């Protein structure tokens, strides 16, 4: 295989948000794309908020799939009907498309790396639930929307695919989230935890699917850790059977 093609699902122009948020999301996307190139992949950017979303089958035809961050998921998709604080950027059409993309990827065992919102989509796609708004989010989010990212300690299951990629079971990561995995889907296993016990990473034990709640692609995150994670994912992509 030459450079494997990785479809990268991102969201840039979220409903109800401003240019500052769009700029942050574009920076995260740019770093993710650049890192994929550096570790030997050919990224294909799909901006979910552009209104031009390819057919799900076209995504599945790529060698791998990466889901980046974005707005909150519509809580009714995981069984929460009441309103909650701090909701932002909800786009039901993007949610439904993302869920379909993940389910299709799992159906054909397409290698998948799901980041931040991506891990939440992965968990809901498999039947799990989310905390729509963490009661105590100070470990996971900066003090305000203007100061979003903070460093967070994560412990990783030493037997996990994630640990083999990261080369460590103790990570300090860049994070900025107010939602998180609540009940882990039956198809998945938790493989990473914050110091307060919140699940920060999941894997599918029978598929090539890994999700992390933090942002390895944030510009001030560890360059080494980001490359290890992305290189591990691309190694999975290269070793997957041809579709």
215 is catalytic: yes
Gap between the Cα atoms of 142 and 140, Å rounded: 7
Which H/E stretch holds residue 171? Answer: strand 170-175
Q: Examine the pLDDT at 82 and tell me if it is beyond 90.
A: no
pLDDT category of residue 228 using cuts at 50, 70 and 90: very high
pLDDT at 143: 76
Which H/E stretch holds residue 28? Answer: helix 19-38
| First vs last C-alpha separation in the chain | 13
**Chain segment 32-49, per-residue pLDDT in tens:** 999 999 999 999 999 998
Computed over every residue of the chain, the mean pLDDT equals 93
Q: What SS3 string covers 81-149?
A: CCCCCCCCCCCHHHHHHHHHHHHHHHHCCCCEEEECHHHHHHHHHCCCCEECCCCCCCCCCCCECCECC
Gap between the Cα atoms of 93 and 6, Å rounded: 22
Q: Examine the pLDDT at 56 and tell me if it is beyond 70.
A: yes
Q: What percent of the chain has pLDDT over 70?
A: 98
pLDDT at 142: 81
Distance of CA 218 to the CA centre of its chain: 12
- CA angle, corner 173, sides to 169 and 176, nearest 5? 135
pLDDT at 146: 63
pLDDT at 241: 78
Gap between the Cα atoms of 99 and 26, Å rounded: 22
Q: Examine the pLDDT at 15 and tell me if it is beyond 90.
A: no
For 160-163, the CB contacts below 8 A with 24+ separation are 160/191, 160/192, 160/201, 160/203, 161/191, 161/203, 161/210, 161/232, 161/236, 162/191, 162/192, 162/201, 162/203, 162/210, 162/212, 162/229, 163/191
Which whole number is the average pLDDT over 139-163? 88
Whether 161 and 102 have beta carbons less than 8 Å apart is answered as no
pLDDT at 144: 65
Q: How far is CA 73 from CA 44, 55, 79, in A?
A: 23, 21, 11
pLDDT at 79: 93
Which whole number is the average pLDDT over 100-106? 98
**Chain segment 186-212, per-residue pLDDT in tens:** 999 999 999 999 999 999 999 999 999
Whether 230 and 36 have beta carbons less than 8 Å apart is answered as yes
Which CATH class, in words, describes the domain spanning 5-239? Answer: alpha beta
126 is catalytic: no
Token digits for 69? 């961050």
- Among candidate residues 116, 126, 140, 152, the one labeled active-site is 116
116 is catalytic: yes
- Among candidate residues 152, 200, 203, 217, the one labeled active-site is 217
Gap between the Cα atoms of 116 and 121, Å rounded: 9
- Among candidate residues 141, 177, 204, 215, the one labeled active-site is 215
Residues pairing with 66 in the sheet: 8, 113
Q: Examine the pLDDT at 145 and tell me if it is beyond 70.
A: no
pLDDT category of residue 243 using cuts at 50, 70 and 90: low
Token digits for 89? 């950027």
Q: Where are the domains of the chain?
A: 5-239
pLDDT at 191: 98
Whether 217 and 173 have beta carbons less than 8 Å apart is answered as no
């Amino acid at each position: 295989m030459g450079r494997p093609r990785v479809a990268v699902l991102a969201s840039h122009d979220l409903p109800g948000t401003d240019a500052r948020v769009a700029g942050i999301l574009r920076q995260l996307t740019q770093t993710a794309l650049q890192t994929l190139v550096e570790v030997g992949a050919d990224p294909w950017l799909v901006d979910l908020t552009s209104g031009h979303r390819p057919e799900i089958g076209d995504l599945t035809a790529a060698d791998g799939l990466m889901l980046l961050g974005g707005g909150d998921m519509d809580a009714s998709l995981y069984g929460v009907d009441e309103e909650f604080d701090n909701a932002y950027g909800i786009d039901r059409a993007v949610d439904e498309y993302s869920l379909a993309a993940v389910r299709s990827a799992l159906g054909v065992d397409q290698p998948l790396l799901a980041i931040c919102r991506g891990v939440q989509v992965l968990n809901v796609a498999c039947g799990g639930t989310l905390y729509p708004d963490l009661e105590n989010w100070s470990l996971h989010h900066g003090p305000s929307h203007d100061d979003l990212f903070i460093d967070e300690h994560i412990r990783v299951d030493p037997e996990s695919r994630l640990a083999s990629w990261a080369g460590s079971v103790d990570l300090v990561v860049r994070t900025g989230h107010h939602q998180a995995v609540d009940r882990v889907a039956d198809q998945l296993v938790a493989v990473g935890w914050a110091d307060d016990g919140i699940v920060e990473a999941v894997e599918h034990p029978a598929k090539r699917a890994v999700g992390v709640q933090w942002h390895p692609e944030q510009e001030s995150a560890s360059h080494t850790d980001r490359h290890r994670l992305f290189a591990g994912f691309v190694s999975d992509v290269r070793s997957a059977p041809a579709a």
